[in-house]
Amino acid sequence: MSNQATNTAAAAAPAKAKKPSIVDTFLKGCAKGFKVGIENITPAMILGYVLVYILKETGLMDILGTVMSPVMGLFGLPGEAFAVLISAFFAKASGCATAASMYEAGALTLGQASMMLPACILMGTLIGHYARIVLVTDTNKKWHPLLIAVCLLDAAISLVIMRVILAAMGVQ
């Protein structure tokens, strides 16, 4: 009787769920990453590129360069370099690509373009992160300006640090 009871109990027990293989887990992660890239990152990058293109085509880039020249000059950058930060505001990759294209066009030196990259990373995608994290989590509104200011301050500090490092290396 004990054999029958054991068989009945074993048959009644639910089958254990099969643990997914590492390959299955990896492929699911790839699919999720691809979806995030297509749905979130790509539109933000395109927005950054389009914004810089519109600024150039309308002549606003020249005006912006003149207006921002004193501020950007504090970091040893031309005023037009502000376009890199505007682009990075929407997507880090867009800011980095803008710096690279400005270097290729001769608007930035290699050192200036290199200075911009940490700033792009530190303040990049601020709009997207703000919308996806700060607004969704219902953060106290009194802290919203500070949350944005910290990213901008970090980017400014990185420009100073990079300028010192590149000067010490003899890169202009």
The CA distance from 97 to 86, in Å, is 12
pTM for the structure as a whole: 0.70
Return the closest-CA partner of residue 116 out of 134, 129, 100, 133: 100
From first to last of its 172 residues, what are the pLDDT tens digits of the chain?
555 555 555 555 555 678 888 998 999 888 888 887 787 777 877 877 788 888 889 988 889 889 999 999 999 999 999 999 988 888 888 889 899 989 999 999 999 999 999 999 998 777 777 776 776 777 788 887 888 888 889 999 999 999 999 999 998 7
The beta strands (E) that lie in 33-74 are given as none
CA distances from residue 6 to 12, 16, 39, 48, 110 in whole angstroms, order as listed? 10, 17, 52, 66, 75
Reading the block at residue 139, the tokens are 């953060």
> What is the pLDDT at residue 15?
58
User: What is the rounded distance in angstroms from the CA atom of residue 133 to the CA atom of residue 124?
Assistant: 14
